Structure 1
């Protein structure tokens, strides 16, 4: 790539931008101090949008006689449909990666276990449609073209529970709580006047109080299996 399109050399420690990938919000990028730089909420979801047409074309393929010209034409139409879905997804990923690489020379992304996420039957289709691995691949080679840097953050790093200002790590947080609230208190006294000195207490938002138990203390658990009447137990029980 031409030198005019490459990033200038950066030897400092500042300027890093963290990129978080998700499903409701496809990409959320922010600086180390918490300043957001990019947020992509409405992404196309090409496979989900075209699932009805894909099923219709698949039924037409199976309805044609094997080895016939009509079956070959129906299979070709189904193949063109898959190519179109892949092209829409690839074009969107190029737009997002170009917007990140062109404006920031230092990017940090998390190493996600995409293969393990595909094992969840409720999230597999959405995770596959997002193509997080392809986005990471594009960011890697485009940063190399432009002379930028791309850092891979460990998947176990507590980024959600860490304060961006004082690096305080909060205790364990439930999955539905994705925001860490770090309180600041003015407590330093110098001479007759108080001066403001921020001090982080590292407290997260309060957890929801669990409701009452469904079963009382004297509840007896019903044994599993089907209970037969007394005259049908033993040898006379139907098999």
Structure 2
């Protein structure tokens, strides 16, 4: 990671420290979504454990959308995004720094608390480990995709409505493969296939989405 990307990472860390409520918002949203399913189901409902992988992934996706919306919107409103575009540093590397910061400060805390959600959703056995492994492997891709959606809608007046529409088509394969890893382990099958696919998608997103975010940043009005 270059000096410019590291500088962006340090800036995002400082902003996160000074905006404690914004940092906690995705965690609260994630907990609310999972709790709603737990409280809405009957005690020992068999369908809850079967739906748990999809519930966890959807909760993660919604929480990342909530957390990523302000990341680029605030920078666009303050003019910082335009400064990055005019910077002599390579813009894709600067966008890479922002996306890494989003994963570290938004997605990583959600992945760390995900086992608690799995227990609350009555998941057991190897499915818990497979789903957690899928979250570690697939969350970078999901974070990158939501970051791209935030970059595309940064200056739009109704970004809160358009952001999910931009993110949902790109995130569906990640949610499907991530849930499939847990279901495979639950039925005694190997979860390696879905995990390898998730790793491939994450690697593709890491290599390509910073360039897409840089192009989206150049499209923002000056």
Q: Higher strand fraction: Structure 1 or Structure 2?
A: 1
Q: Higher helix fraction: Structure 1 or Structure 2?
A: 2
Larger Rg: 1
Q: Do the two structures share a fold, i.e. TM-score over 0.5?
A: no
